[in-house]
Structure 1
Amino acid sequence: MRLDAIDRKILAALQGDGRMSIADLSDAVGLSASPCLRRVRALEEAGLISRYVAVLDQRKAGLPVSVFVSIKLERQQEEALDAFSAAIRTWPEVLECYLMTGPRDYLLRVVAADLDAYERFLKQKLTRLDGIASIESSFALEQVKYSHVLPLP
């Protein structure tokens, strides 16, 4: 899908406030309501807008601990990668999981209420998975920047 300047304005506005009414959105982008709604629906149908969510404050939600976990698997065969990915998808503590290049196979972002909660996650879930060669945990001390807004060209 080719984006024009109005599509970019719509996406930028919705990334800032996904609950914005069509009336407010059309005012923000300089378009009347009907064509604005048509464009939003086209962006949704094209999959560019994949969903609308509420972004929660991690600390206020009682999950102030962020842990970045590097995983090295014993084997990098497709079956091992698929098994690991399938298990990770079921764990709500894992907010992000990336298959990586370099010395580690996966990088996870895990949230927890405290160090004890992370230890339980580690012992009761992560270390029980077959095929893991090593696990390295790094605790975030401070969140310097967090954004869910993509920098559209």
Structure 2
Amino acid sequence: MNPDATDRTILRLLQSNSQLTIKEIASRINLSITPVHDRIRKLEREGFIDRYVALLNRRKLGKSLIVFCNVTLDKQRKESFEEFNETVARLPEVLECSVVSGNFDYLLKVVADDVEGYNTFYQQNLSVLKSVLHISSFFVMSEVKSTTELPI
């Protein structure tokens, strides 16, 4: 089922501020509370709303460095991918990890306190994996745009 225009408006509002009450959403879209509540529950059941989270200020938490890593595995074997996937899934510094096409196998988004912290992460977690052949690291100088909101 595709969300209708009202559902999409609800999704946009919740993406912008997941702490909006059902009453506040109902007021903004000119519906009563019960249909808004029912629509939100349906969007949750059908998987359009995956979860509710608080987005933290990484700089306030001392995580001032973002690094993108291109990772190439030594062999294109199932075991190599599984080992890498399982290891990376356990690393809290890795915010995102995607298998990509092209000249390398993975693109990682890593957060660290600083360059020294990233170097420690790199040496203790990535470079020690047997399946890793090559890692290229790209340090973010400034963020032009960073959002979690999907276009709806």
Q: TM-score range by the shorter chain?
A: over 0.9
C-alpha distance in 1 between matches for 2:107 and 2:97:
6
RMSD of the TM alignment (CA)? 0.7
Deviations 1:57-77 (A, max 9, x none): 121121010000000001122
Question: Whole-Å Cα distance in 2 between the matches of residues 146 and 39 of structure 1?
Answer: 29
Compute the displacement of 1:2 (Å).
Answer: 1.4
Stretches of structure 1 that go unaligned for 5 or more consecutive residues are none
**1:62-141 equivalent positions in 2, closer than 5 A:** 62-141=62-141
Report runs of 4+ in structure 1 exceeding 3 Å deviation: none
Q: Answer yes or no: is the 8 Å Cα contact 2:70–2:107 preserved in 1.
A: yes
Q: Secondary structure at the match of 1:31?
A: coil
Match of 2:5 in 1: 5
Q: Which residue type is aligned with residue 32 of structure 2?
A: S
Long gaps (5+) in structure 2: none
The number of aligned residues is 152
TM-score, length-normalised on structure 2? 0.98
Matches of 1:12 and 1:125 in 2, distance apart? Answer: 38
Percent identity reads 39
Deviations 1:69-123, CA, capped at 9 Å, x for gaps: 0000011222211110110000000000000000010000000001111011011
Normalising to structure 1: TM-score of the pair? 0.97
Q: Which residue of 2 aligns with 1:41?
A: 41
Q: Residue 14 in 1 paired to residue 5 in 2?
A: no
Q: Distance in 1 between matches of 2:142 and 2:120?
A: 22
Counterpart of 2:94, as a letter, is: V
- What is the rounded CA distance, in whole Å, between the counterparts of 1:77 and 1:5 in structure 2? 45
Contact 1:13–1:28, Cα closer than 8 Å, also in 2? no
Contact 2:83-2:131 at 8 Å conserved across structures: no
